Structure 1
Amino acid sequence: MGREDVEFKTSDRVTLRGWFYTSELSSGKSPCLVLSHGFSALKEMDLNTFAEYFVSKLPITCLVYDNRGFGDSDQAEGEPRSEIVPITQCSDISDAITYAATRPEVNPDKIGIWGSSYSGGHVLYVGAVDRRVKAVLSQVPLVSGWDNFSRLVRPDFAVGFNGAFAADRIARAEGKEPGVVPVVDADPLKPSALPTPDSYEFFSSWEKKSNWKNTVTLKSIELFRAYEPQQLIEKISPTPLLLTVGRGDVLTPADLALGAYARAKEPKQLQLLPGGHFEAYSGPLFERNASTQAEFLKKWLVEN
């Protein structure tokens, strides 16, 4: 296995940075899987583990990168860091596909996309609108920002968020710094983007061993609520779709993901894991999860 530090430009000239993995099983031009992470997460937060697994089992390459404004990647000139604009991140996935297609190791006709949590929603959208995509792997995805926000945020807290959104818009118009909110907080009664105990456990552990920052802009939360990546899920077909869902997922609730999956057309495959949101990334369920994803990639991206 080889890993190379890489960078590439998006369509609006922002530099994104990441890692490009090659497999010792490859000869000549190989398929490529583009992997992107979820809400505020960085590439080293287990994306490398998936990429390493896939290239060890399959003759493919993998491109892993940090989203704009996070980790090693830049943000657009004049824009704040730690701001998540979902449709822009979707566009960046397409630009990552373009970059991968230009690499001499890659067969440009065999590129798949892998996303988890927030980007698990992104790949549903990109898989429908970017017809270069030959396989879509969506793991514990956010499928409806509106419904997800309503599950995570108490109605009385939502009123406070609405006031904060309005005040932040005025402050930005006046040239002030954008408002921010913690991604997670140990106290569930305090405002945060992801107010679940397992979110706090996951992200706080990475805060201690990476350069992950516990902050996002308020605008990111407002855009989260308005985001509906499931809207085109029926349009992914005939591109193959693998949806991985945790039965006990309360961060991106399992029933919402299963409802979206029911509307997707063939070819599609559902993987149900007996755990919550973050068990998909590591621990006892990792081998089961990653091996199913590798078999899906072998069938639809390598051999097809």
Structure 2
Amino acid sequence: MNRRDVEFPGFDGLTLRGWLYPAGPNRPCIILTHGFAGLKEQFLPDFAGHFQAAGYGAMVYDHRHYGSSDGTPRNHTDPILQARDYSAALDYVSLLPEVDPAKVIFWGSSLSGGVAIYAASIDPRAQGVVVQCPFPSSESLVTDLKEPIRKAFADRAATTTTAGQEPAMIPASPYASTTPRAAKEASMVADPDIVAYYAELDRRNIPRGSRVTMQSLLGIAGFEPKAFIGRISPRPLLMILGALERTIPIDLQLRAFEEAGQPKQLHLIQDQGHFGLYHSKGFKENIEIQLRWLKEVVGV
């Protein structure tokens, strides 16, 4: 597996950074980003490496405000801007000799699964979409996190009216830290399935990236990729879910799939939850499904 560092301008010119995994000249290319609060180091190289070995190029990059990419405040999520950055990433790879610009696939996971859906719905150049455990709608979020969202609006008011006021931070998950204070704070991901995910990150000495701005809730609370999923057709869609999904209501994911047009494929991986798709046994089955689909859609 070989890769090289890359940087390119995001949709508004902000510098985004990542890795390119070339597979030869004029190859299909998969553009990958991580989910909520995720960093490119967190298992995405495993996916990109398998794609590369099968003859597909891949580019992995950190979202704006995260990891090696620019943007302040740090650890802030805006899914609409992230979606526009997918198009900027496509602009960039389309100029590379290693990439066939007519065979670029958007890939997303969890929140970035929703971002990839939305991005492809408005950018006809994306030739297909792969999403695993995607975020399809904020329908349940605005109910479950009503009070934290109220606090996020108050925090936004404070940071926009008070000079030097830093945005409040919250843990991405109560399991991201072992401190009692963190366990009591509002968070986005309360699924205990993330414990094994964090344990595997720790085993590999990969940072967890455990805190995000409270104001990230505001952008996510109004994000509805399910409303746009039908626009992907007639380009192909692959959706992969863990049958034990608990982070995102699986009924919302299934409803989103129903609203997608053909051609589309849905795969449920048994005995796996949201985070099992990234590593161990769940990853093995997951990547095999994705490679079969890619061969059908863009060949090698």
The two structures have a TM-score, normalised by structure 2, of 0.91
User: 1:81 offset after TM fit, Å?
Assistant: 0.8
The yes-or-no answer on 1:290 pairing with 2:287 is: yes
SS of corresponding position for 2:268: strand
Q: Superposition pairs for residues 178-193 of structure 1, below 5 Å? A: 178-186=167-175, 189-193=184-188
Change (3 A) 1:287 1:201: closer
One-letter identity of the residue aligned with 2:17: R
State the distance in 2 between where 1:255 and 1:136 align. 20
Asked whether the 8 Å contact 1:4–1:20 carries over to 2, the reply is yes
The yes-or-no answer on 1:194 pairing with 2:189 is: yes
SS of corresponding position for 2:103: strand
User: 1:159 offset after TM fit, Å?
Assistant: 4.8
SS of corresponding position for 1:124: helix
User: 1:196 offset after TM fit, Å?
Assistant: 2.1
Aligned to 2:238: 242
State the distance in 1 between where 2:146 and 2:49 align. 44
Identify which range, 192-201 or 116-125, moves more after superposition.
Answer: 192-201
One-letter identity of the residue aligned with 1:105: E
SS of corresponding position for 2:3: strand
Identity of aligned residues (%): 36
State the distance in 2 between where 1:144 and 1:255 align. 11
The yes-or-no answer on 1:85 pairing with 2:85 is: no
Asked whether the 8 Å contact 2:197–2:276 carries over to 1, the reply is no
Aligned to 1:272: 268
One-letter identity of the residue aligned with 1:67: H
5+ residue gaps, structure 1, are none
State the distance in 2 between where 1:161 and 1:148 align. 10
Identify which range, 210-219 or 265-274, moves more after superposition.
Answer: 210-219
State the distance in 2 between where 1:213 and 1:162 align. 21
SS of corresponding position for 1:72: coil
State the distance in 2 between where 1:259 and 1:10 align. 31
Change (3 A) 1:13 1:124: same
Change (3 A) 1:88 1:29: same
Aligned to 1:302: 299
Summarize deviations over 1:57-113 as a string: whole Å, max 9, x none. Answer: 2x22000111111111111xxx30111001000011111111110111111111111
Asked whether the 8 Å contact 1:148–1:252 carries over to 2, the reply is no
One-letter identity of the residue aligned with 2:197: F
Which of 166, 170, 173 is 2:157 aligned to? 170
One-letter identity of the residue aligned with 1:199: I
User: 1:36 offset after TM fit, Å?
Assistant: 0.8
Summarize deviations over 1:190-216 as a string: whole Å, max 9, x none. Answer: 321212222355347536823443111
State the distance in 2 between where 1:159 and 1:230 align. 21
State the distance in 1 between where 2:73 and 2:97 align. 34
Aligned to 1:133: 126
The yes-or-no answer on 1:106 pairing with 2:99 is: yes
The yes-or-no answer on 1:29 pairing with 2:26 is: yes
Aligned to 1:46: 43
State the distance in 2 between where 1:282 and 1:72 align. 23
One-letter identity of the residue aligned with 2:286: N
State the distance in 2 between where 1:62 and 1:279 align. 22
Asked whether the 8 Å contact 2:11–2:87 carries over to 1, the reply is no
State the distance in 1 between where 2:285 and 2:208 align. 27
Aligned to 1:224: 220
SS of corresponding position for 1:145: coil
User: 1:221 offset after TM fit, Å?
Assistant: 1.3
State the distance in 1 between where 2:277 and 2:263 align. 23
The yes-or-no answer on 1:65 pairing with 2:45 is: no
User: 1:246 offset after TM fit, Å?
Assistant: 1.1
Summarize deviations over 1:157-195 as a string: whole Å, max 9, x none. Answer: x45314412320221122311111111114765321212
Summarize deviations over 1:114-164 as a string: whole Å, max 9, x none. Answer: 1000000011111111000111001100001232454xx3xxxx4531441
Runs of 4+ in structure 1 deviating by more than 4 angstroms, as ranges, are none
The yes-or-no answer on 1:17 pairing with 2:17 is: yes
State the distance in 2 between where 1:285 and 1:185 align. 23
